[in-house]
Amino acid sequence: MKKPLVVIARNIPKEGLEELYKHCRVHMHRGSMPPTRAQLLSYAKEADALVTVLTEKVDAGLLSVAKNLKIVANYAVGYDNIDLKVAHRAGVYVTNTPGDLGASVAEHAMGMIMVLSKRMLEGDRFMRRGKYHAWDPNLLLGNDVRDKTLGIIGSGSIGSALVKIAKAGFGMRILYNDIVRNKKIEQDYHAKRVPLSQLLKASDAVSLHVPLLPSTRHLIGAKELNQMKPTAVLVNTARGPVVDERALVAALKAKKIAGAALDVFEFEPRLAPGLAKLPNVVLTPHIASATVEARAQMGSIAAQNILDVLIRNRHPRNALA
- The reply to whether 5-99+292-310 and 102-283 are identical in fold is yes
For the chain, the domains span 5-99+292-310, 102-283
Render pLDDT for 46-100 as a digit per residue (tens, 0 to 9). Answer: 999 999 999 999 999 999 999 999 999 999 988 989 999 999 999 999 999 987 7
Alpha helices in 155-227 (DSSP H): 157-170, 183-189, 196-202, 222-227
Task: Give pairs for 297-300: CB < 8 Å, separation 24+.
Answer: 297/16, 297/97, 297/99, 297/100, 297/101, 298/12, 298/16, 298/75, 298/76, 298/97, 298/99, 298/101, 299/12, 299/13, 299/14, 299/15, 299/16, 299/17, 299/75, 300/15, 300/16, 300/17
- Domain 102-283 indexed as CATH 3.40.50.360: no
Q: List the catalytic residues.
A: 239, 268, 286
What global pTM score does this model have?
Answer: 0.87
Q: Which CATH class is domain 5-99+292-310?
A: alpha beta
CA distances from 120 to 117, 145, 279 (A): 8, 13, 11
> Which stretches of the chain score pLDDT less than 70?
321
Torsion angle of the four alpha carbons 62, 6, 239, 188, in this order, in degrees rounded to the nearest 10: 140
Percent of the chain surpassing pLDDT 90: 94
